[in-house]
Amino acid sequence: MKNDFIPSAPLTINWAVTNRCNFRCKHCYSRVDVAEELDFEVLCTVIKKMSAAKVFSVNFGGGEPLLKKDIPGLTKFAVDLGLAVSMNSNGFLITKDMALRLKQAGFGKVGISIDSPKHEVHDRFRGVKGSHGRALAALGYLKEAGIVTSISSVICKINIDDIDGLIEMARSAGVSNINFHNFKCSGLGFANKDVLDLSPEEWHDFYTRAIALKETVEDLQISLEDPIIALFGHKNGPSLVKGSVCGKLSLNIKSNGDITPCGFIPIVIGNICRDDLLEIWNNSPVLNMMRNKVPKGKCLSCESYTECLGGCTARTLALTGDMNNPDPHCWKK
Amino acid sequence: MKIFRNPDAMWREEDRFREQAYSGLDKGEDVSDTGTSIVLYSGKMFSFNLLGTEIWKLCDGKSVEDIVSELRESFEVEEEALRKDVNAFLESLKKEGLIYEK
């Protein structure tokens, strides 16, 4: 199924600037990844390439991006070239002073990972005692500094019964947005999938509840980035593409400069230091396959396929070995 | 009253699609569904066709009349019909917070 509209360059680039981390998360996809990192001058060259390709925004991740030296300096460099910069952090290193530095550097948005309203549940999942309190404090400092904040929660067994609690926590923290991320079976997420991932029926029930909340909660934006919500006839927001956005609107860069379609698909399609970004974007055979998926199995006769395009490509590839297979989270019989 | 783009909206023209649209126009095709620009604002994504993109680009402090007048130099359209299209498009931009008047 062909997507009608593939922009001439990625809109967003997710960039794991480091795979080092001060946490020990049970679902981590990057701790087992490459250790090599680019130095500041090379990072700036990469930013220039993104700007020249008219990429809108870059989102730093990792690992914990604040373990990378001079993220504020790199951010300022990117903002001066017209890029919007955001970051996903665990919040542990964000003090009042760091929040001000991030604001001065030009960060528009910072997302903090919090997976449960219960501090003991979050701390156990993230592997660091006190991390819940530090994450909430970080949100306060960022807000005070004038940075738009969001909470990212990975939905899995540990929090599936506490969705209302997560929303209440987000409201009281004053964030603009809570992102409910679907559980990805990459890295340790794959190793721990049997104890953390939900069944298709549980995903159905979660999304039924989450969509109802999204439509009724007015003072908080709830984001559900999973393409299988198209099975409800629901879209997360106006988007120009159907199915997964990875490789259609966004790309991922690893700490050593390798380019992958998304952070959860370990197929290297080039290297940002060595290759031409637009050449990869326009001609990568892997991206071409992702943009032109061919339905298989139950997708062949499913009336929702034209909207969901087989669901999350990363998850399907990780669990079945073939991106064209039906999404393993799909509850349709 | 002058019209300005919201500076928080990120946007770019899509060169490949713009070329496609102009080539289609030359052949007399209907290109109204061909997006030639992308605009991102407040978590929403918009794609404007050729006329929409040209209107959007002119929202840099011009009045509606200035915009209509400039567009008439590029598009062979009857003035009243063009004015109606421009006003309707600007209204939709205003509703999404993409432009403001001063």
Which residues on A lie below 8 Å from B47 (Cβ)? 5, 240
* Measured distance CA(A23)–CA(A123) in Å, rounded: 10
What value does the mean pLDDT take over residues B58-63?
97
* Weakest-pLDDT range from A87-91, A130-134, A243-247: A243-247
Q: In angstroms, what CA-CA distances link A310 with A199, A291, A303, A307, B47?
A: 17, 11, 11, 9, 24
CATH of the domain at B27: 3.90.930
Test mutation, B6, B12, B13, chain A, max A CBs within 10 A: B12
pLDDT (0 to 100) of residue A3:
44
Q: Do B46 and A57 touch (CB under 8 A)?
A: no
Give tens-digit pLDDT for A265-286: 999 999 999 999 999 999 999 9
Dump pLDDT digits (tens) for A203-226: 999 999 999 999 999 899 999 989
pLDDT at A238 over 70: no
pTM value is 0.90
**B97/B25 Cα distance (integer angstroms):** 30
Kindly give the pairing relationship between strand A84-89 and strand A109-113.
parallel
pLDDT for residue A31: 64
Binary contact (A237, B38; C-beta < 8 A): no
Domain that holds residue B13: 3-101
Chain B residue with the nearest C-alpha to that of A222: B43
Q: How far apart are CA B92 and CA A238, in angstroms?
A: 15
B73: enclosing H helix or E strand: helix B64-74
pLDDT greater at residue A194 or residue A107: A107
Query: Which of A20-29, A37-46, A208-217, A314-323 is predicted least confidently?
Result: A20-29
Give A236's pLDDT tier (boundaries 50, 70, 90).
Answer: low
Residue A237 is predicted with a pLDDT of: 55
Collapsing DSSP to helix, strand or coil, A211 comes out as helix
Least CB-CB distance to A238: which of B10, B16, B44?
Answer: B44
The pairs formed by A164-173 with CB atoms below 8 angstroms and a separation of 24 or more are A164/A213, A165/A116, A165/A117, A165/A118, A166/A114, A166/A116, A166/A117, A167/A213, A167/A217, A167/A220, A167/A222, A168/A117, A169/A114, A169/A117, A169/A136, A170/A220, A171/A219, A171/A220, A173/A136, A173/A139, A173/A140, A173/A149
Q: Is the pLDDT of residue A2 over 60?
A: no
A246 vs A187, higher pLDDT: A246
Give percent of chain A with pLDDT exceeding 70. Answer: 95
Q: Total domain count for chain B?
A: 1
Interface of B with A in 32-51 (CB under 8 A): 35, 38, 40, 43-47
* 3-class DSSP assignment, residue A49: helix
pLDDT tens digit sequence for A275-320: 999 999 999 999 999 999 999 999 999 999 999 999 999 999 999 9
Higher pLDDT, A37 or A191: A37
Confidence of residue B3 (pLDDT cuts 50, 70, 90): very high
Residue of chain B whose Cα is closest to the Cα of A55: B12
- pLDDT at residue A260 greater than cutoff 90: yes
Q: Chain B residue with minimal CA distance to A177? A: B43
Residue of B nearest to A57 (CA): B10
pLDDT of the residue at A1: 37
pLDDT in tens, A60-95: 998 899 999 899 999 999 999 999 999 999 999 999
* CB atoms inside a 10 Å sphere around CB B45: 18
Beta bridge partners of A61: A16
Which residue in the set B16, B38, B43 is minimally distant from A11, CB to CB? B38
Work out the average pLDDT over A151-168: 95
Which pLDDT score is estimated for A32?
67
Read off the pLDDT of each residue in B23-44 and give the average, rounded to a whole number. 90
Q: Are strands B10-13 and B37-41 parallel, antiparallel or unpaired?
A: antiparallel
pLDDT at residue B75 in the model: 85
Mean pLDDT lowest among A96-110, A163-177, A221-235, B14-28: A221-235
Q: What's CA A269's distance to the chain center, in Å?
A: 19
Q: Which helix (H) or strand (E) holds A319?
A: helix A313-320
CB contact under 8 A, B14 and A8: yes
Tell me: pLDDT of A167 over 50. Answer: yes
Neighbours of B74 (CB within 10 A): 10
Q: Is the ipTM of this structure higher than 0.90?
A: no
Q: What is the pLDDT of residue A195?
A: 81
CA distance B12 to chain A (A): 7
* Nearest CA distance, B53 vs chain A (angstrom): 15
Cis peptide before B52 (omega within 30 of 0): no
Q: What pLDDT sits at residue A239?
A: 67
Structure tokens at A111: 């997302």
- Rounded to 10°, the helix A200-216/A163-173 angle is 40
Measured between alpha carbons, how far is A163 from A153 in angstroms, rounded to an integer? Answer: 10
Q: Which of A5-9, A131-135, A169-173, B87-91 has the lowest mean pLDDT?
A: A5-9
Residues of B in contact with A238 (CB under 8 A): 44-46
Nearest Cα residue in chain B from A148: B42
- Average pLDDT (A218-239) is 82
In the predicted structure, residue A233 carries a pLDDT above the cut 90: no
pLDDT band at A11 (very low <50, low <70, confident <90, very high): very high
